[in-house]
Structure 1
Amino acid sequence: MEKRNQKQFGIKQTPKETLRQWFYLMTLGRSLDNKAPNYLKQALGWSYHAPYAGHDGIQLAIGQAFDKGKDHLFPYYRDMLTAISAGLTAEEIILNGISKATDPASGGRHMSNHFAKPEWNIHNTSSCTGNHTLHAAGVGRAIKYYKHMGVAISSQGESSVSEGYVYEAINGASNEKLPVIFVFQDNGYGISVPKADQTANRKVANNFSGFKNIRIFHCNGKDVFDSMNTMAEAKVWVLENQMPAIVQANCVRMQSHSNSDRHELYRDKDELSYSTDNDPLAKFHRLLVKYGRFTEEELAVIEEQVKAEVKEAHKKAMAAPDPAPASIFNFVMPDAYISEKFPNGLHQEQGEPIKLIEAINQTLKEEFRHNPDTFIWGQDMANKEKGGIFNVSKGMQQEFGRERVFNAPIAEDYIMGTANGMSRFNEKIRIVVEGAEFADYFWPAMEQYVESSHDYWRSNGKFSPNVTIRLASGGYIGGGLYHSQNIEGALASIPGVRIVYPSFADDAAGLLRSAMRSKGLTLFLEPKALYNAPKAATPIPEGFEVPFGKARVRRLGTDISIVTYGNTTHMCIEAAEILEKEMGISIEVIDIRSLIPLDKETILTSIKKTNKVLVVHEDKVFGGFGGELASVISDEAFEFLDAPVKRIGSTYTPVGFNRILEAAILPNTEKIIAALKELSKY
């Protein structure tokens, strides 16, 4: 314990071989940092490069503190030396810079200067600056739960700390006492915006001085020894106390923010001279010679070694293959769980009907028993006898404990971001989150939803967040704004996420089971108006499973096809029965159940038989998912149509609170009947 307060590293006591390695790494990093812009000038790539020069001390220290066998590292786009110090080679850095297929970070799919090696737990992070703090908190939660003796290290610039999700991450980490080191590399600028325009505190870390269960460390990020000592002390403190720490490193940015920035437009000559005079590599070089640890000749040998290494790395990287155009379709979405017992998601069970809400609750419990590495959290969902705003998760915390079933802060981005992060710890982990109490409140989590949607693609198949997002969706409850909207139409345009929307209890159980057993991200939308509705209750076979992309024909017919899902499925069935009795029109009702992937085959087969189609959903007609359905039908079944593709949905307005307004806005059986009668005249 007493060693912790002593300086572990210094120019005199650090072994010469260690100093040699540090100088080699710093020289290699600076050589590549200086060389990167030349690739762009020669049109070879590296079209985005954020020079790190001036951050040398802290970046060397982060990489040296990282243990790839135990820790998780989340670097940001300026962390070239961090990546090199953590173990990436010159060739791997150049492969990333010029976006080759063998780039270990993403195979050329992500921006240059986003360095990663997922198999070493050096994580592929986003261009959305600072958002990986949430992932670090999430993996810190897993480290704590599994009693793993490691830490998560998150690195970022000081200006990105202004992002709301950074505050959510640090608040959550301090509240949960998570073993995370948040490093702020403070160079005084957010691109061209000076720090004074970002925060009132001169040192951004001090914004968090009132947070409990967290320790703040300050260091000179330009100085190798101060940085090494501070990172070592912070890591020991986090491991011993199992609480988070912040390391604020004072740096200087010697170059422009990136190769698309001109810092001379907003920095005067004195400031630019100061940054050059405080070059950390030059200072380290002088110290090594001044204190007799190395001669100029010895350092020159290392510099020549680096030149030869970079030259050879360049040659190999240039010869590496480029990504193939056809590979764009690889790793969009991981393979789903395949049901052998219920390959079409159908059954003939004749038992007692179970309500939709009970079906979800029972399935969650069954899957938690099936896989002990399953977790669930969300807002207001695990307090004493209450299990969520609708009691969907009732009894789960009592059976599975507070470590697997727990409340999250009212911070939707934190809910989603930590789910992404926790799933990085182990592929066995499956996470269910109540993304918000109502689907309408999910919008603050959109940054993490988008982030998670392309993680699998962006990492070239090396990581997928295995997360099911549960959201109580839709109207017909008199809830008004933020309690009655549908969001699937807006989200369906984002690739990489399965979207399912059951109408009956058995499908709710079967789709949820498939989601929780699959790799990847699934948005599971629950029609809350049907939670306790007798019309949605069904018998459910034991272990029932519904594969993704398999529609269900709810009613056979020959004259008109209806394509629907969710709440409106029941209205469509009712409308079809009324019209058959009144007018003898035979109507087929297809419940798609799964929006993405979509069962086009069942839809097109029905239309080839009936030659007329009505698309019905609860969401707005304009911009709703029905527009995509109509487009697919028009494109692939046009020759079979005897009438225009007609659509019924909500008006292009928000959903009103007054029941009269709600009824005028949302679709209903009468509106569907009117549309069917119109279609029947063709």
Structure 2
Amino acid sequence: MAKTKKYSIKTTDKKTLEKWYRLLTVGRAIDEKAPNYLKQAIGWSYHAPYAGHDGIQLAIGQVFEKGKDHLFPYYRDMMTAFSAGLTAEELILNGISKDTDPASGGRHMSNHFAKPEWNIHNVSSCTGNHTQQAAGVGRAMKYYNGEGVIISSQGESSVSEGYVYEAINGASREEVPVIFVFQDNGYGIAVPKEDQTANRKVADNFRGFKNLKIIHCNGKDVFDSMNAMREAKEWALENQQPVIVHANCVRIHSHSNSDRHELYRDENERNYVKEYDPIAKYRRMLLRYERFTEKDLEKIEEEAKKIVKDAHKKALKAPDPKPDSIFDYVSPEPYKASKYPDGTHNDSGNKRKLIEALNETLKAEFKANPDTFLYGQDVAHKDKGGIFNVSKGLQQEFGKERVFNGPIAEDYITGTANGMSRFDEKIRVVIEGAEFADYFWPAMEQLVDSTHDYWRSNGKFVPNVTIRLASGGYIGGGLYHSQNIEGALSTLPGLRIVYPSFADDAAGLLRTSMRSRGMTMFMEPKALYNDPKAATPIPDDFEVPFGKARIRREGEDVTIVTYGNTTHMSLDAAEKLQDELDMSVEVIDIRSLIPLDTDTIIESVKKTNKVLVVHEDKVFSGFGAEIAAQISDAAFEYLDGPVMRVGSTFTPVGFNRILEKAILPDTDKIYASLKKLAEY
């Protein structure tokens, strides 16, 4: 982008000045009209007025180039979205949550403006988290030699969030072309900024960051804002480095229509901010420097009223969302495992360990799809590939740009994976979300946001990400090294969860995950990585479909439903019951928790009439509770005994091996429950 002379009231051409005034006038008219929709029970139940931010928001939208740049607006960015190209009608469609709202079809909160097909991204209500996604897009922009920049906008108070610091630190370290705009109006709802930040200007908190440029501007002034945003874009493009633009604004009204600022701002302050109204200032300048007459501006203002009136009429006539559409876009259709539609094979060939299955599948898929990336903590250093060496050798074979280490910041790893996949649908990202599943909790906010991206955007965007986590115990790891978290994760719609027990299923499920659109949580039972019990032959290009259980042992008298480490214990317990009581046990390895193969489970229960649900996680609120509930709902009439469960005690997993053994399930505990149920 070539450097250009600065904008000013004297030098800017009249056509541009008129366009800006029309945008500002129409936008403000909608901003002021929005609360009336709520009063009339038409909608717009959440509205955060932007009045006082007009200058910087106009500038953000004017420097944004659709299809080339990427824009992450926040909930106060109505003028930003309008200046970037959304129509007045589209703003109102979003406000009153119509089916034709381009951001989400009424699925997301009002005032969350977006148009994903233009790269104006649909972002979460969790303010500031999109900074990490913006950093991820920046990484992809740089890798693919894109010509644009990424603009991430937010209020100054949300910069207090830790993930914002991680995003800016990561963008600075990776040197990516992201512009972080802080719209500073002095308040985070009712909390003044002196309670938020050490420096009066929050951007100054980042003064020591390498490769980062900081620009301050008057966000109330159109010309200063335009010059700052153009300077930021030129810098980001030329240097391929991040920029912070700190815009000083005022908030003329309350935080939102559920806030009453007169409770914490006195009359003098409320009158003071009105005096600094950016539109009033711009209008005075247009007249003072004789660029327009009063009559000229009044004509534009009348045209603005008509634009808003027409947009209002059209938006009211737009269709509302249909109730049955709630099931659309929860999760995309996965890759179809056509070669092995039931996820089984003839077990011929040499056995491979589970860790070998994962490593070889990763390498095969990296060869098959050059737009595949892997990163995480400690996954790419010389001959090491993570704590357990699952990714060993990948960086040497596929290079540092496709396989690389991430910081010890689980939410940054997850958030930037989401961002990378926003750059192009063909991209597939595999991350080691944490070195142990127990450490994944800092990433939960980013995970939750990612799981409803597809639904929230009305099918316009889905992150294509596989998250690998080494899970479970039996290694003497104790707290943060031996817990199971899949029960909590299974409450998130939009997230697939798989949990293999054998090497072939690990290979097949990983391949299907990496080839599929959408989010997959790939849980790896680390105790089985090198265990001979989990080793199996693995056909080339083996595939396992989601939601297809595998019957590991046929039986007639009792059914065990299990997955992960306890699959092998269940098979041993079933063999023991056969030997001692001559009773046959059917063992179902579900492999896939979400989606769940309920049909296979119910058919087995109909045959055996008794069922034991076994898993490593806690019995209380573990995933087995959902399995048991579904069996009770769908097959109660076929049961000849209670649905029993075996799992961990309702305690953390202790470090001492004596404590671990007392807590975790084992073959003896499973056998005792199995025998009790068989004799019921």
TM-score by length of 2: 1.00
Deviations, residues 217-242 of structure 1 (Å, cap 9, x unaligned): 00000000000000000100010000
CA apart distance, 1:7: 4.9
* 1:140-155 map, 5 Å: 140-155=138-153
Q: Which residue of 2 is the match for residue 593 of structure 1?
A: 591
Q: Which residue of 2 is the match for residue 339 of structure 1?
A: 337
C-alpha distance in structure 1 between counterparts of 2:625 and 2:5, whole Å? 65
| CA RMSD in angstroms, aligned pairs only | 0.7
**1:223 to 2:221 alignment:** yes
Q: Which residue of 2 is the match for residue 105 of structure 1?
A: 103
C-alpha distance in structure 2 between counterparts of 1:499 and 1:156, whole Å? 33
* 1:201-600 map, 5 Å: 201-600=199-598
Name the count of aligned residue pairs.
680
Aligned amino acid, residue 503 of structure 2: A
C-alpha distance in structure 2 between counterparts of 1:273 and 1:99, whole Å? 33
C-alpha distance in structure 2 between counterparts of 1:240 and 1:673, whole Å? 67
Structure 1: which 5+ runs fail to align?
Answer: none
CA apart distance, 1:260: 0.3
SS in 2 for 1:46: coil
Deviations, residues 118-164 of structure 1 (Å, cap 9, x unaligned): 00000001100000000100000000000111100000000000000
C-alpha distance in structure 2 between counterparts of 1:369 and 1:292, whole Å? 65
Q: Which residue of 2 is the match for residue 608 of structure 1?
A: 606
C-alpha distance in structure 2 between counterparts of 1:486 and 1:86, whole Å? 45
C-alpha distance in structure 1 between counterparts of 2:306 and 2:262, whole Å? 33
Deviations, residues 240-272 of structure 1 (Å, cap 9, x unaligned): 000000000000000000000000110111111
C-alpha distance in structure 2 between counterparts of 1:311 and 1:92, whole Å? 13
Deviations, residues 37-81 of structure 1 (Å, cap 9, x unaligned): 000000000000000000000000000010012100000000000
Deviations, residues 93-126 of structure 1 (Å, cap 9, x unaligned): 0000000000000000000000000000000011
**1:76 to 2:59 alignment:** no
* 1:37-116 map, 5 Å: 37-116=35-114
**1:181 to 2:179 alignment:** yes
C-alpha distance in structure 2 between counterparts of 1:507 and 1:370, whole Å? 19
C-alpha distance in structure 2 between counterparts of 1:27 and 1:368, whole Å? 52
Q: Which residue of 2 is the match for residue 669 of structure 1?
A: 667
Aligned amino acid, residue 534 of structure 1: P
SS in 1 for 2:536: coil
Aligned amino acid, residue 533 of structure 2: K
Q: Which residue of 2 is the match for residue 135 of structure 1?
A: 133
CA apart distance, 1:349: 3.4
Aligned amino acid, residue 271 of structure 1: E
C-alpha distance in structure 2 between counterparts of 1:523 and 1:586, whole Å? 33
C-alpha distance in structure 2 between counterparts of 1:671 and 1:447, whole Å? 36
Q: Which residue of 2 is the match for residue 28 of structure 1?
A: 26
SS in 1 for 2:537: coil
TM-score by length of 1: 0.99
SS in 2 for 1:358: helix
Q: What fraction of aligned residue pairs are identical, expressed as a percent? A: 75
SS in 2 for 1:516: helix
Deviations, residues 567-591 of structure 1 (Å, cap 9, x unaligned): 0000000000111011101100000
Aligned amino acid, residue 385 of structure 1: D
C-alpha distance in structure 1 between counterparts of 2:560 and 2:383, whole Å? 42
C-alpha distance in structure 1 between counterparts of 2:114 and 2:10, whole Å? 34
Deviations, residues 497-533 of structure 1 (Å, cap 9, x unaligned): 0000000000000000000000000000000000000
C-alpha distance in structure 2 between counterparts of 1:581 and 1:368, whole Å? 46
Aligned amino acid, residue 660 of structure 1: I
Q: Which residue of 2 is the match for residue 118 of structure 1?
A: 116
C-alpha distance in structure 2 between counterparts of 1:341 and 1:188, whole Å? 60
C-alpha distance in structure 1 between counterparts of 2:313 and 2:578, whole Å? 74
C-alpha distance in structure 2 between counterparts of 1:294 and 1:274, whole Å? 27
Aligned amino acid, residue 64 of structure 2: F
C-alpha distance in structure 2 between counterparts of 1:21 and 1:479, whole Å? 64
Deviations, residues 598-643 of structure 1 (Å, cap 9, x unaligned): 0011000000000000000000000100000000000000000000
Deviations, residues 383-437 of structure 1 (Å, cap 9, x unaligned): 1111100000000000000000000000000000000001000000000000000
Matching residue within 606, 630, 633 for 1:632: 630
C-alpha distance in structure 1 between counterparts of 2:366 and 2:679, whole Å? 52
Q: Which residue of 2 is the match for residue 17 of structure 1?
A: 15
Deviations, residues 450-509 of structure 1 (Å, cap 9, x unaligned): 000000000000000000000000000000000000000011011000000000000000
C-alpha distance in structure 2 between counterparts of 1:413 and 1:233, whole Å? 30
C-alpha distance in structure 2 between counterparts of 1:236 and 1:503, whole Å? 53
C-alpha distance in structure 1 between counterparts of 2:134 and 2:150, whole Å? 6
C-alpha distance in structure 1 between counterparts of 2:672 and 2:542, whole Å? 37
Aligned amino acid, residue 61 of structure 1: A
C-alpha distance in structure 2 between counterparts of 1:388 and 1:653, whole Å? 28
Aligned amino acid, residue 212 of structure 2: I
SS in 1 for 2:423: coil
Aligned amino acid, residue 555 of structure 1: R
C-alpha distance in structure 2 between counterparts of 1:176 and 1:43, whole Å? 48
Aligned amino acid, residue 649 of structure 1: G
CA apart distance, 1:340: 1.1
Aligned amino acid, residue 655 of structure 1: V
C-alpha distance in structure 1 between counterparts of 2:221 and 2:274, whole Å? 14
SS in 1 for 2:593: strand
Aligned amino acid, residue 304 of structure 2: V
C-alpha distance in structure 1 between counterparts of 2:479 and 2:634, whole Å? 37
C-alpha distance in structure 2 between counterparts of 1:164 and 1:420, whole Å? 18
CA apart distance, 1:681: 1.6
Q: Which residue of 1 is the match for residue 643 of structure 2?
A: 645
Aligned amino acid, residue 230 of structure 2: A
Aligned amino acid, residue 641 of structure 1: L
